[in-house]
A = this chain, B = another copy of it.
């Protein structure tokens, strides 16, 4: 059982309710401790794949297994506890009345004690430079501030698997470096999409290339053939 994958998808497709093809016949296995970078041009299905692999969307065809389980009502909470997802669009993600509530949304559900909670809040708001905006509602922040709050409120509960969809869009250099640093040190499993190849190269040991809803390449970072990127339009 050592080598059974954490997350596996076999032949999954997702068609959006309006008939648009999200991903098409994708198979992938993700193992503990891997750092997977998903790259591909706009609209190639990266975000859709993340929603599928994290169990938030149900594939319209095929099956996803997470920790060996098919996600359903019964195991929903326990899966969610272990999987964190940073959405591409922070506006889709942030819904609490203040930044503080946003950060503590999951810790409060886990009924962590007050003291520990205060400490977590302090640590993360310092790290992401959010102290001055803790009292503000998230929809009144700047683009990058929103993204920072989003990343912080996922990292704060240290899920085993983290999906990061474009974590560095709209954020400033300092935060980018900080996020990269944190992810490098992270012991869990990490899946990242990004249009900044620098980030992928720095953080990932495996690269998945998508195009038109399909995986067209899945390889280690060392054997990566960059000509393909250019062809598809990633760089």
Contact = CB atoms under 8 A, between A and B. Distances in A.
Contacts of A234: 172-174
A46 B176 CA distance: 18
Given A20-B140, A91-B91, A42 B175 contact: yes
Nearest to A42: B144
Nearest to A196: B196
Q: Which applies to chain A's interface (DSSP): helix, strand, loop or mixed?
A: loop
Given A136-B20, A144-B195, A172 B91 contact: no
A19 to B, nearest CB: 10
A126 to B, nearest CB: 14
Nearest to A41: B172
Q: Specify which of A140, A148, A172 lies most central, judged by the most chain B CB atoms within 10 Å of its CB.
A: A172
A141 to B, nearest CB: 7
B43 A144 contact: yes
B42 A172 contact: yes
A47 interface: yes
